[in-house]
Amino acid sequence: MKIEKDYINLLPREETSGRAMNVWYGIVILFVAAWVTVFSVQLIQLWSEQAKLVAFSLQKQALDRQLTALQKELGLTGAAGMNADKVKLIKSLLGERVLWSDVFKQFSRIIPRGMWFDSLEGSATGAAEIKIRGGAFNYDAVSQFLLAMGKSGFFEKPQLNFAQKTVLRGHDIIAFEITSGISKTGGGRQ
């Protein structure tokens, strides 16, 4: 049995139900704030990834243009009437060529001071080979150059044919001749 005081509510009705509503509003506001935060973070990541994608696409276009230019330069574009076998044959023949510009770049990297070339003879038929005739102020420069050729990975089995002291215009110089094979793949360590 209930006593009369159980039915008496001293607080106004709005206050008790208002607190419950305020709690629900707080929960909803927290949920919306959390959702907006997560959405904002995801949106920022999306923009960042889109910027990267645009940069990669621009880089790909630039590389495609360079590839097309190189293919035209090397004559690798397939002309009308050429089948796959002809294109393969041309590519294999071009693969056996020596890029002499790379050979000269390699020389510029490894030649020591006090050395010069009088003549260069190159042959790309069969085994690619080069014969170098020149001079130097001392034997040390010739040996440094020969050692650098061997270490470069670009030249194969460099050999000193001769190194001989001679007098030129009243100065002692070392005349030399070196022969070496050339790696057609451009060497391992350029």
Comparing C-alpha atoms, which of 105, 124, 114 is closest to residue 181?
124
Q: Three-state SS for 156? A: strand
At residue 140, the pLDDT reads 92
Place of tokens 């510029």: 108
Percent of the chain whose predicted confidence (pLDDT) is above 70: 75
Q: Which of 7-16, 84-93, 159-168, 177-186 is modeled with the greatest confidence?
A: 159-168
Asked if pLDDT for residue 122 goes beyond 90, the answer is no
3-state SS, one letter per residue, for 22-66: HHHHHHHHHHHHHHHHHHHHHHHHHHHHHHHHHHHHHHHHHHHHH
The pLDDT-based confidence of 97 (bands split at 50, 70, 90) is low
Q: Which of 19-23, 76-80, 121-125, 149-153 is modeled with the greatest confidence?
A: 149-153
Q: Tell me the chain's radius of gyration from C-alpha atoms.
A: 40
Those residues with Cβ within 8 angstroms of residue 19's Cβ, 6 or more apart along the chain or in another chain: none
Structural domain spans, the chain:
1-95, 98-182
Question: Mean pLDDT across the stretch 106-135?
Answer: 86
At residue 108, the pLDDT reads 86
Asked if pLDDT for residue 170 goes beyond 90, the answer is no
- Digit-coded pLDDT (tens) for 10-69: 655 554 455 667 788 889 999 999 999 999 999 999 999 999 999 999 999 998 888 888
Those residues with Cβ within 8 angstroms of residue 179's Cβ, 6 or more apart along the chain or in another chain: 129, 130, 131, 132, 158, 159, 161
At residue 185, the pLDDT reads 60
Alpha helices in the chain (DSSP H): 4-7, 13-74, 84-95, 100-110, 139-152
At residue 179, the pLDDT reads 92
Asked if pLDDT for residue 160 goes beyond 70, the answer is yes
- Digit-coded pLDDT (tens) for 125-143: 777 888 999 999 999 999 9
Decide if 175 contacts 153 (C-beta within 8 A).
Answer: no
The CATH number of 98-182 is 3.30.70.2830
Asked if pLDDT for residue 95 goes beyond 50, the answer is yes
For residue 164, the cross-strand partners are: 175
Q: What is the mean pLDDT of the chain?
A: 80
Structure tokens at 155: 């030249």
Q: Phi-psi category of 7—alpha, beta or left, where left has phi over 0 and alpha has psi -120 to 50?
A: alpha
Q: If you count them, how many residues does the chain have? A: 190
Asked if pLDDT for residue 1 goes beyond 80, the answer is no
Q: Is the pTM of the predicted complex or chain greater than 0.95?
A: no
Structure tokens at 128: 């690619």
